[in-house]
Chain A
């Protein structure tokens, strides 16, 4: 009797745990999903999901996407891709800023692929070895509250943010994460350590508000908690579309150049669906997708010549972009992160 009970209970425990796992849905391909492709996307979901859905409809291929964000709360898809490196699950990585892609390239997690649709994209935005291709760019901008600051008074350079007249009125995202980390690394690479260290010390003395994401910067500026902030074009545009009192300035047009950040798309090394991955990359690099992203709330700037850009944002050939070597900027991230943690007391 006792023996029977014991067997029954062990069986129950095993069946229970197994059942809990079995009740989950498996990766059943199903008849309609014979052609699938898996993409990891760090471009904000609200912008990237419609693009991928359009591809599904157009190609008949099922797109399995994993989304993430660049906010500080995210551990990032790059970590997942690195952890899965021995047995990759993804075919394509679509990043909304350069650092992650360059980290993956340096860790040999990417495969080389030169898409025919990369033709027409400026050479500086295409990897010479074919590990990544840039498309649809964003700009780092200075956002200001239009009820508190006029366009004439708004800062025109990132370095103006350390001006004592803005004391306690500037917000930036934590510079260790996301597009801000790339921006400050690029500034260190372009302007030199001494100048940038001094700038960030002044910024700290100026009581800068360091918050946990570019969207938070935008919200603080829009609500008037601070007058100005450093953020991205897409963040500001969402608030403008929401009719909030906010506008933006393209910084350093007359100095170091306007900081431009392209999306980057890459093929994953040993991807399970290599050919489908290449087709999806071709699609993402098409003029159609750039137009779609330009006319969405993302207001991303097309890199192909001849593709109409977003309204309210100047075309890329109408201002002077910051000249920089993405690889060199990305290599500065670790060092700059350490410096800023110390200078800003993060």
Chain B
């Protein structure tokens, strides 16, 4: 089926070409141009090694914490008889909508020596902890755990209940859970953890607020302070090497596992969770990760003397953001679906290399991607026709998010047994028909989750957008970002709540509608 003229070759080839042109070419072009004149030897000094260690701790710590919170919640959403589950899922995913930088600000409003906590109890309770690396890990972990939660739930829902039923005949529920269920969902959880790791090491807003020195700022300094792309490219290499190392360890630990699909049989009762425990866990996370930051921000926002003035004028930016994030997420999933499938069907060795390559592409700092996009698209001719239009923002979302989406959808694609395709082929179905009727329907949960995550990340994207947004137009994050520089903290809180509310509102309505349907 991989012949030159086969449907599969043509479609996957076309998607790969788009991937290379949109994601790989701008980065390669930037690196080649920037590193051309660099001849000096490059070695990190002691200070930079220290920063790299901080970055590694931040990335690994965040991935571990987010997984420790998100994976059990995904398990509960998939396996516990929770009330209003759809609504609860939306609420538990909501922290992802809060800009991490603003959650860090909320943390300082709460924990600083003049913060709410110190005022309430009369002394600086958190003292050295407010501005610290553990605080940065905590903030990022609380913002990013929904990625792990959604990935875990999707992976669990793909497990064939009959497998677990069979296992329960020879093993206790605890043994089945750890030796069958966990290994089956591990690829999805690990893919999410890798994405979380990369998002955490790319972040410098949260470390900046919490005064944590990280290596990412070194790369950024070469750009923003020294205007030296060659140095920025060189400095990015250790960061990318760190990501390669982590991805290689993750891939080696995981291997390629066969994951069966679920067909009809429900999860055995012995592997379900008690409702009260599950509800308690969900409420605890909701209060800590969502209610507390929002309450702190709302308290700060209420001190704003002109909430209306802050919000007025954001209408066009909101409409732009919703429209472009919708287009961007659809384009990301539309292309990543084929590439994820192709990755799922490659050999083990090639697959590992592809995974590492995807992590590295996703880890390239946004600024480098932005400058690369300008170099590729800002030129005379047909390519240049797109430059200066808001198509560049969709291209920016694709360049940033496609690698992560392919990684996630590859995990989803691996849950579809090859035997299903073989049976379809023996029955005379062409590849496209097999995809349409058999493979894609089985990947639909993963596709929906990937679209939602791509939408949320595209909606909040700033690093590349700010470099390629056409003159005269703006997205909500760019507008907020360019306003908050001089606004009082109360106005910053208003704008942060606005950004979260713009997505949270429609998602809550959607959740309520789905919940209503579930009940009826």
Are the C-beta atoms of B432 and A24 separated by less than 8 Å? no
Complex partner residue of A10 from B14, B209, B330, CB under 8 angstroms: B14
Q: Of B185-193, B260-268, B355-363, B376-384, which binds chain A? A: B376-384
Interface residues of B in 426-476 (CB under 8 A from A): 430-433, 463, 466-467, 469-474
Contact partners of B387 in chain A: CB under 8 A: 89
Complex partner residue of A89 from B10, B208, B471, B487, CB under 8 angstroms: B471
Q: Of B64-72, B74-82, B221-229, which binds chain A? A: B221-229
Known: A87-B380, A209-B211. A215 touches B486 (CB 8 A): yes
Are the C-beta atoms of A211 and B384 separated by less than 8 Å? no
B302 interface contact, C-beta 8 A: no
Contact partners of A9 in chain B: CB under 8 A: 7, 11, 432
Known: A6-B10, A10-B10, A64-B472. A75 touches B486 (CB 8 A): no
* Chain A interface, DSSP helix/strand/loop, else mixed: mixed
A213 interface contact, C-beta 8 A: yes
Contact partners of B403 in chain A: CB under 8 A: none
A146 interface contact, C-beta 8 A: no
Interface residues of A in 7-65 (CB under 8 A from B): 8-10, 13-14, 16-17, 20-27, 38-40, 44-47, 62-65
Are the C-beta atoms of B384 and A239 separated by less than 8 Å? no
Contact partners of B113 in chain A: CB under 8 A: 225
A124 interface contact, C-beta 8 A: no
Nearest-CB residue, chain A, relative to B330: A20
Are the C-beta atoms of B208 and A212 separated by less than 8 Å? yes
Are the C-beta atoms of B226 and A333 separated by less than 8 Å? yes
CA distance A71 to B389 in the complex (A): 26
CA distance A247 to B225 in the complex (A): 29
CA distance A35 to B487 in the complex (A): 32
Nearest-CB residue, chain A, relative to B109: A223
Are the C-beta atoms of B209 and A216 separated by less than 8 Å? yes
Would you give the 0/1 interface string for A104-147, flagging 1 where the beta carbon is closer than 8 Å to chain B?
00010000000000000000000000000000000000000000
Are the C-beta atoms of A75 and B223 separated by less than 8 Å? yes
Nearest-CB residue, chain A, relative to B393: A24
B11 to chain A, nearest CB (A): 6
Known: A70-B485, A225-B114. A210 touches B335 (CB 8 A): no
Contact partners of B338 in chain A: CB under 8 A: 13
B367 interface contact, C-beta 8 A: yes
Nearest-CB residue, chain A, relative to B226: A334
B54 to chain A, nearest CB (A): 11
Contact partners of B213 in chain A: CB under 8 A: 345-346
A243 to chain B, nearest CB (A): 8
Are the C-beta atoms of A69 and B482 separated by less than 8 Å? yes
Contact partners of A234 in chain B: CB under 8 A: 486
CA distance A211 to B213 in the complex (A): 10
Interface centre among A13, A38, A62 (most CB of B within 10 A): A13
A180 to chain B, nearest CB (A): 10
Contact partners of A45 in chain B: CB under 8 A: 479, 482-483, 485
CA distance A181 to B470 in the complex (A): 28
Interface residues of A in 207-261 (CB under 8 A from B): 209-213, 215-216, 219, 223-225, 234-235, 238-239, 242, 244
A79 interface contact, C-beta 8 A: yes
Contact partners of A346 in chain B: CB under 8 A: 213, 217
Contact partners of B134 in chain A: CB under 8 A: none
Are the C-beta atoms of B11 and A6 separated by less than 8 Å? yes
Are the C-beta atoms of B485 and A69 separated by less than 8 Å? yes
Complex partner residue of A72 from B18, B224, B227, B430, CB under 8 angstroms: B224
Are the C-beta atoms of B371 and A79 separated by less than 8 Å? yes
B375 interface contact, C-beta 8 A: yes
Nearest-CB residue, chain A, relative to B373: A83
Contact partners of A17 in chain B: CB under 8 A: 18, 331, 334-335
Are the C-beta atoms of B47 and A44 separated by less than 8 Å? no
Would you give the 0/1 interface string for B186-219, flagging 1 where the beta carbon is closer than 8 Å to chain A?
0000000000000000001100110101000100
Contact partners of B431 in chain A: CB under 8 A: 2
B220 interface contact, C-beta 8 A: yes
Nearest-CB residue, chain A, relative to B18: A17
Known: A75-B223, A75-B224. A68 touches B7 (CB 8 A): no
Would you give the 0/1 interface string for B39-82, flagging 1 where the beta carbon is closer than 8 Å to chain A?
00000000100000000000000000000000000000000000
B374 interface contact, C-beta 8 A: yes
Are the C-beta atoms of A73 and B432 separated by less than 8 Å? no
Nearest-CB residue, chain B, relative to A171: B211
Contact partners of A75 in chain B: CB under 8 A: 220, 223-224, 367, 370, 463, 466-467
Contact partners of B471 in chain A: CB under 8 A: 38-40, 64-66, 89-90
B488 interface contact, C-beta 8 A: yes
CA distance A239 to B490 in the complex (A): 10
Interface residues of A in 276-314 (CB under 8 A from B): 297
B40 to chain A, nearest CB (A): 14
Nearest-CB residue, chain A, relative to B207: A212
Nearest-CB residue, chain A, relative to B464: A75
Complex partner residue of B224 from A22, A74, A86, CB under 8 angstroms: A74
Known: A25-B473, A64-B472, A73-B204. A79 touches B467 (CB 8 A): yes
Contact partners of B393 in chain A: CB under 8 A: 24
Q: A2-B7, A20-B334, A25-B473 are in contact. List 14 more A-B contacts (CB 8 A).
A: A8-B432, A24-B391, A25-B389, A47-B486, A66-B469, A75-B220, A76-B223, A83-B378, A83-B467, A89-B378, A210-B211, A212-B208, A212-B209, A334-B226
In the complex, 14 of the A-B residue pairs with CB atoms within 8 angstroms, ordered by the A residue number, are: A13-B11, A20-B328, A20-B394, A27-B388, A39-B471, A67-B474, A72-B217, A79-B467, A89-B387, A90-B471, A212-B208, A219-B488, A333-B226, A341-B47
Interface residues of B (CB under 8 A from A): 7, 10-11, 14-15, 18, 47, 101, 112-114, 204-205, 208-209, 211, 213, 217, 220-221, 223-227, 229, 305, 323-324, 327-328, 330-331, 334-335, 338, 367, 370-371, 374-375, 378-380, 384, 386-391, 393-395, 430-433, 463, 466-467, 469-474, 478-479, 481-490
